[in-house]
Amino acid sequence: MNKKNSVFIATSIDGYIADKNGGIDWLHSIPNPNNDDMGYVEFTNDIDALVMGRTTFETVCGFDVDWPYDKPVFVLSNKLKEIPESHKGKAFLVKGTLAEILDQIYKKGLNKLYIDGGTTIRNFLKEDLIDEMVLTVIPILLGGGSPLFSEHPKELKFELIKTKTYLNQVTQSYYNRKR
């Protein structure tokens, strides 16, 4: 079974994934009368599990909606001692190096992973562990906040597979890592 680590994330034009206050309301700044999911369901149908950072996990836990995932969610954290009672059985705390964590997940037969959270994605990129990135750009300049990318040790080449435009305003690009 082919292993694949994928990113599916929305950024501002200036490359932020959260604003200066940690907010993500701007993700919904383009009118979307028919609730177009912009490829999210198709993407998530094809993954086996999620790997997410503690901040993103806590952000999702704080949403006023039911738990949105029907796949196992592996949460990276040094601080968390355990997953809150409310999310046990749906989310699982994992510790160790990324290689050790991936090994644990692959051993469960989960091979196609959705990697989420800014720090988490950057940590995966630093070790060249991302195979696919789907980047959705919302036409707004936030001027600061949490960046998606930062410096990392070496240049990584990606190949553009396709681009799509949603709502006449939002561009989405699929990139594969060129190895």
Helix (H), strand (E), coil (C) string for 159-174:
EEEEEEEECCCEEEEE
133 binds ligand NAP (CB under 6 A): no
Q: Which residues contact 115 (CB under 8 A, 6 or more apart)?
A: 5, 6, 7, 50, 51, 52, 121, 124, 130
Spatial distance between the Cα atoms of 60 and 172, rounded to a whole number of angstroms: 22
Nearest CB to ligand NAP, comparing residues 17 and 49: 17
Using CB under 6 A as the binding criterion, the count of chain residues that bind ligand NAP stands at: 26
Nearest CB to ligand NAP, comparing residues 1 and 47: 47
Residues in the chain: 179
Beta bridge partners of 94: 76
What is the nearest approach in angstroms of ligand NAP to the Cβ of residue 158?
18
CA atoms within 13 A on the CB side of 57: 27
Q: Looking at 1, 78, 85, 153, which residue binds ligand NAP (CB under 6 A)?
A: 78
What is the nearest approach in angstroms of ligand NAP to the Cβ of residue 76?
4
Nearest CB to ligand NAP, comparing residues 2 and 23: 23
Beta bridge partners of 74: 51, 92
21 binds ligand NAP (CB under 6 A): no
123 binds ligand NAP (CB under 6 A): yes
Residues of this chain that interact with ligand NAP (CB under 6 A) are 9-10, 17-18, 22, 24, 27, 52-56, 59, 76-80, 98, 116-120, 123, 146
